[in-house]
Amino acid sequence: MKIIVAHPSKQHSLQTAIALKKNGTLFRYITSVYDKQSSLTHFIKIFLSAKNKKKAANRKTDELNDKDVLLLYELSGLIMLIIRRIHFLRSRFYQKLFVWRRKNFGRVVAKFAIKNKVDAVIMYDSTATECFAILKKQAPHIIRILDVSISHRQFMKMNFERDMNQTQDKHLMLEEAILWQDKYMKDYNQEVKDSNYFFAPSQIVKKSLIYVGANEKSIKIIPYGVDINKFQYIRKQKHTLPLNLIYVGQVNYRKGIHHLLKVISQFSSSLVTLNLAGEYDRNSELYLQYRNCRNIKFLGFVTRDVLADYYQRSDMFVFPTLGEGYGLVVLEALSTGTPVISSDLAGGNDIIVNGKNGYVFSGGNDDELRHIIQYMIDNIETISYLSANARESVMDMSWDAYYDKIKYAISEIFCECNRE
């Protein structure tokens, strides 16, 4: 059995490749940016700052040999990483470059798969359109598996429109403009139609796939893992106010931050504080409107080694997202013993049990979020109980468990195909 894992960026594709390597089915891991000996990425790393070198370290694993990895369009991949961090460039060039690279990357992957007579290709949502179209036409025997890391865009668009109608705020449409451009949505829908099977990390992603017409029987639920050694557990012993909350991720409207900031700003700093750990735009309305709130602090980007300390110093993690796939940050928070307040659109909310390791509220519902926060203020002594359960709830959510689930899903898919 020979399987290709291909992603022009990264997401969790490296972990998928490791899973297949471990069960002996990986033919190649194909990507654009990887710290492979003799690669451009390896050379450039020499000139990076210490902070960026830590980030670059995530672009390599000892679990794969260099010969397992094939790099395509590496220079454009590195350019895209730079553009993503510069707002002026990101808004003008990122999407165009992404589509150009996706098309060329996908065509090369398809030709490589056909030439080497592989059994299956795993690609990722928004990246598989060209590759799967070619395989469906020229090599339909090659199984096409779409690993869907986030709720389908059509489903997200529906949720965003509902939120905009509720808030009378159009920022979501500006921020996620491609969702209202038919040429992009057509591609997102086509790759679903051209896929034989789907890997979905959560029930919300499964729901979104069914929403756009995917066959429920072709969807395999495979939750992500967390390295519990990187996010070590310290049980919280909280009995005094304020309730210290932390959010980790980009500070934008898709993440539901406009709801979170509105709710938090209505509380006194003696009752609740909020740290936002993630990139933000200093010119954005979200920042300008709330930068002077005494109980809200914008930390900016925080490296993972420092992030674990922030989790441990916080009472609860809050994740108000309006569109997600799983939200690995939920697992990271729980791993440190930090209970989670999550929207029901996060994916990671699958693991949350109300009153045990956190609480779940309806995405975009300010009243429900405010009620949970007020409840925790009034019952601050329950933090210790929630903290112990938070850690316990992720003990079987390691990456090794993810690898086992991938192995089982692959075996199940090939058995099903052989019966047809």
Phi then psi dihedrals of residue 253, to 5 deg:
-75, -35
Nearest 5 degrees, angle CA 238-CA 308-CA 12?
Answer: 130
Q: What does the pLDDT look like over 310-334, one tens digit per residue?
A: 998 999 999 999 999 988 899 999 9
Residue 90 confidence (pLDDT): 66
Four-residue CA torsion sign, 269, 274, 279, 283: negative
Q: Where are the alpha helices (DSSP H) in 57-119?
A: 74-84, 87-89, 95-115
Cβ–Cβ under 8 Å, residues 349 and 343: yes
Nearest 5 degrees, angle CA 322-CA 326-CA 327?
Answer: 75
As a whole number of angstroms, the distance between CA 318 and CA 278 comes to 13
Q: Which of 46-50, 96-100, 180-184 has the lowest mean pLDDT?
A: 46-50
- Can you tell me the mean pLDDT for 202-217? 97
Cβ–Cβ under 8 Å, residues 383 and 313: no
The pairing of beta strand 197-200 with beta strand 219-221: parallel
Average pLDDT score over the chain: 91
- Can you tell me the mean pLDDT for 62-75? 89
Closest CA to 125 of 323, 399, 318, 280: 323
As a whole number of angstroms, the distance between CA 329 and CA 352 comes to 13
Phi then psi dihedrals of residue 105, to 5 deg:
-60, -50
Q: What does the pLDDT look like over 384-401, one tens digit per residue?
A: 999 999 999 999 998 999
pLDDT band for position 211 (50/70/90)?
A: very high
**Is the pLDDT assigned to residue 48 strictly greater than 60?**
no
- Tally the C-alpha atoms within 13 A of residue 358's C-alpha that lie toward its C-beta: 32
Q: Which of 83-87, 145-149, 266-270, 397-401 has the lowest mean pLDDT?
A: 83-87
**Is the pLDDT assigned to residue 358 strictly greater than 60?**
yes
Q: What does the pLDDT look like over 161-201, one tens digit per residue?
A: 999 999 999 999 999 998 999 988 999 999 999 999 999 99
CA distances from 207 to 211, 274, 301 (A): 6, 31, 32
CA distances from 36 to 15, 43, 64, 112 (A): 16, 9, 10, 20
Q: Give the rounded percent of residues in the chain with a pLDDT score beyond 70.
A: 92
CA distances from 92 to 87, 159, 198, 252, 253 (A): 9, 25, 32, 18, 19
- Can you tell me the mean pLDDT for 60-86? 81
**pTM here?**
0.90
The pairing of beta strand 197-200 with beta strand 143-147: parallel
First-residue to last-residue Cα distance in the chain:
18
**Is the pLDDT assigned to residue 280 strictly greater than 90?**
yes
SS3 170: coil
Q: Which of 200-214, 261-275, 404-418 has the lowest mean pLDDT?
A: 404-418
Residue 65's CB is within 10 A of a number of other CB atoms, namely: 9
Q: What does the pLDDT look like over 130-170, one tens digit per residue?
A: 999 999 999 999 999 999 999 999 999 999 999 999 999 99
Cβ–Cβ under 8 Å, residues 71 and 32: yes
Residue 77 confidence (pLDDT): 67
Q: Which of 46-50, 216-220, 346-350 has the lowest mean pLDDT?
A: 46-50
Q: Partners of 340 in the beta sheet?
A: 317, 358
pLDDT band for position 58 (50/70/90)?
A: low
**Is the pLDDT assigned to residue 351 strictly greater than 90?**
yes
- Can you tell me the mean pLDDT for 223-241? 87
